[in-house]
Amino acid sequence: MAKLDKEEKDLLDSFERDEWKPVTDIEVESDNYREYARKSFKKDIRVNIRLSKRDLEAIQKRAIEEGIPYQTLMGSILHKYADGRLKEKSR
């Protein structure tokens, strides 16, 4: 078996503890989650912010490395922060 990273190991452990339950109606569940995603990513408000040139250039460089537009990267960062999923990295 290939070496698993922590997330994969956690998933496997959860599965082996029989914590996963079958979905009774996959079409309804899929439609529900599709709707959640659509509402989550709806961009209906414009925000203007002021940044230092240095910060913007760093974000643009990171976006190029990720292969995405810098505004998409900024939106993703803000979404993760608002959702509590953005963690501070110790140096």
DSSP class of residue 84? Answer: T
- Report how far residue 21's alpha carbon sits from residue 82's, in angstroms, rounded to the nearest whole number: 29
- The confidence band for 1, taking pLDDT boundaries of 50, 70 and 90, is low
Domain assignment present for residue 63? The answer is yes
pTM for this prediction: 0.53
Domain assignment present for residue 64? The answer is yes
Domain assignment present for residue 6? The answer is no
List pLDDT tens digits, range 22-43: 888 999 999 988 888 887 777 7
Domain assignment present for residue 78? The answer is yes
Domain assignment present for residue 67? The answer is yes
Task: Say how many domains are in the chain.
Answer: 1
Domain assignment present for residue 69? The answer is yes
3-state secondary structure 28-70: HHHHHHHHHHHHHCCCCCCCCCCCCHHHHHHHHHHHHHHCCCH
- Report how far residue 85's alpha carbon sits from residue 76's, in angstroms, rounded to the nearest whole number: 11
Domain assignment present for residue 45? The answer is no
Domain assignment present for residue 2? The answer is no
> Which domain range does residue 80 map to?
55-86
List pLDDT tens digits, range 56-78: 999 999 999 999 999 989 988 99
The CA dihedral of 7, 84, 44, 72, to the nearest 10 degrees, is -50
pLDDT of residue 53: 96
